[in-house]
Structure 1
Amino acid sequence: MSATTVDYHGYQLYSTFQPILSLCHRRSVGFESLLRPVDGHTRPHSPASLIRAAAESGDIRYLDNLCQSLHIRNFSAQAPDERWLFLNLDPSTITDRWYHDGTLVEALKQAGVPPERLVIEIVEGAIEDESQLFAAVDYFRSIGALVALDDFGTGHSNFDRIWRLAPDIIKLDRSLIVEAEQHRTGRLRQTLPNLVSLIHESGCLVLAEGIETREQALLAMDSDIDFVQGFYFARPSPTIDHQNMDNSPALNAITQHFVTTATIEERLEADRTAPYIDAFRTAIEKIGQGVEPHLAARRLMTMPRTARFYILNARGEEIMHVDGSSLRGNHRLAHAAPITDTAGGTWYRRQYFRAAMAEPHRLQTSRPYLSSTGAYMCVTLSLADSNPPERVICCDIDW
């Protein structure tokens, strides 16, 4: 079936669609509609320049409505059921509340597209008046559509707005993935999974757009991002490729690569911690034989990445600790002096303490986290050595 086009002031306007893929489902879940203008000599033109000219001439409302109807018709003619149409609206359509004119609802009705299959993309930072933004979200929800906030991670973004708006999908700005890719050991690369987790906790799915390399795709997978979109998987096209839509070679390849590398990394991580676990168990055995804790942990404390060895009572209160050799000469500790003295501290709220209390005699290994005793990343080994637990023996490893 040939695609529908429309004329606009000497331009021929086309729809193109870029797949949005689910990393879990390993298939497309929707398509973002994008405008492609061509002049009378079949030369392509920038959509941004056309939209800018329409805004300057006061014709943006007409052009926006024209594009909405065009994309909806072309999507309806090609897309299979159970796929979303991601539709961008010009910010002025929202700020001037033109969406109330019924054009969008009528276009959906004529094309036979249920509003539940529509995802309205709103650029959060482009709308300064929050009342306009909230009113638009309420309206689109009232007609049955979903709402996605676009370009999250730029200067205007804030979590307070996400929690109050509760959009269905957050589209991360491409700069977040690019920055994380370029700095393999940087903070953003370590923080990205936590950012995604925080967005998930607010009830939103996460989409990473602009994925152009395998490394970026693997970063998205490693960060627990739900959906991906970008040239690495597919370029925008006027036609929807049904054959490759649910069997993306690129998606299959990174899935297999991730499974393989994740297994290797888990093995390497286990190898990395094994000597510390052995020394930790030896220290616990000696303590059980009556050896003083600081003497029992002597070998452990000489290992290069041992940060702290300490014992907590059943209330999580610290009853003894020894600082490890890895902290000597650490320049960060000079700035962390107010928090390095842990006398009288309580670690009851820490997951590693509660896990050890729940399963006596079972060694627990925490996920990497930022230590509040020196502001360094660490992993904690913990074990309750009696049942019922009367104390929990712990060791922090500088990560």
Structure 2
Amino acid sequence: MLTAVPDIRKIIENRSLITHFQPQVSLKRKAVVGLEALSRGFDPQSGEIIPPTLLFEQARDRASRLALDRACRTNAAESFAALHRKDKSMMLSMNIDASCINEETRGSCHVLNLVTRCGISPSNVIIEIIESRCEDMDALMAFVKFYRENDFLIALDDVGAGFSNLDRIPLLKPDVIKLDRTLISGVDKHFHKLEVVRSFVQMSNRLGCLVLAEGVETAEEAMCLLSNGVDVFQGYYFARPAPGLDAVPGMASKVDALAERHRENRTQQIADDKRLYSSYDLTVLTMCQELAETQAKDMGQVLAKFVDTYDSVECLYVLDMRGNQITDTVCDPRRLKTSKRFLYEPAEVGADHSLKEYFLPIQAGLEKFTTRPYISLASGNLCITISHMFYHKSSGRHRILCVDMSRAEEGGPR
């Protein structure tokens, strides 16, 4: 066991550093697409490894942090250079301590000079910026601009962790967003975490950047993320950081098995969803046909009967073609939350739904529309809303039936 950490100056001077690499895996490509360089120190006398947290804690002043940061980068680039000569497609991810980027270091071109000296193409290097450590935003912006103009890629690390500065995303316009392990851990079991991941994926797709999930430790996490638009993964499930650049034993078969499992699961899910949503559509159409023949004053009773008849129905209400609610919201009382009633409350007659996701497509000309799963403001449960237009004979007007169908089986809060 390491009893005392050698002086940080001696570690830097003697290059008592070793670079471990952790693969970044694309399941859709079934390949390792990149390696993140992770530095460890070692005691030159005993040979014992100094963990990264303990190592970087020793660099307490700005000069030591900069010297250690550059020494780690140099080690990483020199270690990666041999692989780059063999495989020009592999990417190298290097961490940059953003606290070292300031007016004093601005314009040093250290990273550019380093990769040039090592014969590494800048387009194969991803500079990872830990977003919580920036002290000089102007210098950081200039740094990012310079390296992007020289064909480097920029990644924002630890996104979703602690007090993440999300304003850095539009400022730095990263090519890669690395979702922190605190967000990834247990994502297959936590609906709220999954919704945050989905939001990052959707935003990244629109911004033209890649989402990479860090800290993936189980097949279930990987499967859940893959099903929700994440393709590149890094974590102990695939491989632990290790010295050397050799292929990790067993990882290829693990990747193949996950890819095949994903294909089978998605095929089955699509078939199941098709059957389920067909049954939903038939149920809602049957309701509309009965409501078309119902007097306006009796609609509430008919809606209550639907709740009793169909187990999957949580709430129902009817809108006019301007999006105004013309019936009470009739709910299954067993599904309503007894707490948080100030958050979740069924809408009343006269409520304006004209901007709701399930109304606008009908107004635009669709006969029916089905939303993605979301937390209902009426019940506080995970549901989908199906809106379906019908012609109400006694009033001589078109109406819209809105039905909240329970999707609690997808893992949302109950």
**TMscore range, shorter length:** 0.7 to 0.9
For residues 156-190 of structure 1, what are the alpha-carbon distances to aligned partners after superposition, in whole Å with 9 as ceiling and x for unaligned?
A: 31322322222221211111111535xx2553244
1:84-103 superposed matches below 5 A: 84-95=91-102, 97-98=104-105, 100-103=107-110
Q: Is 1:349 the equivalent of 2:355?
A: yes
Question: Which residue in the other structure is 1:104 paired with?
Answer: 111
Match of 1:176 among 175, 180, 183: 183
Question: Quick one: which amino acid aligns to residue 241 of structure 1?
Answer: D
1:280-291 superposed matches below 5 A: 280-289=284-293
Match of 1:331 among 335, 338, 342: 338
Tell me, yes or no, if the aligned pair for 1:368 and 1:378 is still in contact at 8 Å. yes
Match of 1:394 among 390, 399, 402: 402
Deviation of 1:105 after TM superposition, in Å, equals: 1.6
Match of 1:155 among 154, 159, 162: 162
Task: With the length of structure 1 as denominator, give the TM-score of the two structures.
Answer: 0.82
Deviation of 1:68 after TM superposition, in Å, equals: 2.0
Deviation of 1:78 after TM superposition, in Å, equals: 0.6
What is the distance in 2 between the residues matched to 1:375 and 1:128?
41
What is the distance in 2 between the residues matched to 1:325 and 1:57?
62
Instruction: Structure 2: state its 5+ residue gaps.
Output: 1-10, 392-396, 408-414
Question: Which residue in the other structure is 1:4 paired with?
Answer: none
Tell me, yes or no, if the aligned pair for 2:78 and 2:118 is still in contact at 8 Å. yes
What is the distance in 1 between the residues matched to 2:15 and 2:166?
41
What is the distance in 2 between the residues matched to 1:370 and 1:328?
13
* Residues 1:57 and 1:220: Cα distance change in structure 2 (over 3 Å): same
Task: With the length of structure 2 as denominator, give the TM-score of the two structures.
Answer: 0.79
What is the distance in 2 between the residues matched to 1:223 and 1:58?
43
1:14-29 superposed matches below 5 A: 14-29=18-33
Mean Cα displacement is larger for which, 57-66 or 302-311?
57-66
* Residues 1:60 and 1:192: Cα distance change in structure 2 (over 3 Å): closer
Question: Which residue in the other structure is 2:6 paired with?
Answer: none
What is the distance in 1 between the residues matched to 2:343 and 2:241?
51
Deviation of 1:347 after TM superposition, in Å, equals: 2.5
Tell me, yes or no, if the aligned pair for 1:124 and 1:156 is still in contact at 8 Å. no
| Count of equivalent residues | 386
Deviation of 1:122 after TM superposition, in Å, equals: 1.1
Indicate the SS of the match to 1:170. Answer: strand
For residues 357-380 of structure 1, what are the alpha-carbon distances to aligned partners after superposition, in whole Å with 9 as ceiling and x for unaligned?
A: 55655x533211233445443211
What is the distance in 1 between the residues matched to 2:336 and 2:228?
33
1:199-218 superposed matches below 5 A: 199-218=204-223
Tell me, yes or no, if the aligned pair for 2:40 and 2:51 is still in contact at 8 Å. yes
Indicate the SS of the match to 2:17. Answer: strand
For residues 134-162 of structure 1, what are the alpha-carbon distances to aligned partners after superposition, in whole Å with 9 as ceiling and x for unaligned?
A: 33323322333221111122233132232
Instruction: Structure 1: state its 5+ residue gaps.
Output: 1-6
For residues 50-96 of structure 1, what are the alpha-carbon distances to aligned partners after superposition, in whole Å with 9 as ceiling and x for unaligned?
A: 34335459444333323323322322211311232111123442146
Q: Is 1:45 the equivalent of 2:50?
A: yes
Deviation of 1:199 after TM superposition, in Å, equals: 4.5
For residues 319-351 of structure 1, what are the alpha-carbon distances to aligned partners after superposition, in whole Å with 9 as ceiling and x for unaligned?
A: 3344122467641474248x5343223323333
Tell me, yes or no, if the aligned pair for 1:17 and 1:236 is still in contact at 8 Å. yes
Q: Which structure shows the bigger proportion of residues in helix conformation?
A: 1
Question: Which residue in the other structure is 2:174 paired with?
Answer: 167
Tell me, yes or no, if the aligned pair for 1:33 and 1:71 is still in contact at 8 Å. yes
Question: Which residue in the other structure is 2:197 paired with?
Answer: 192
Question: Which residue in the other structure is 2:3 paired with?
Answer: none
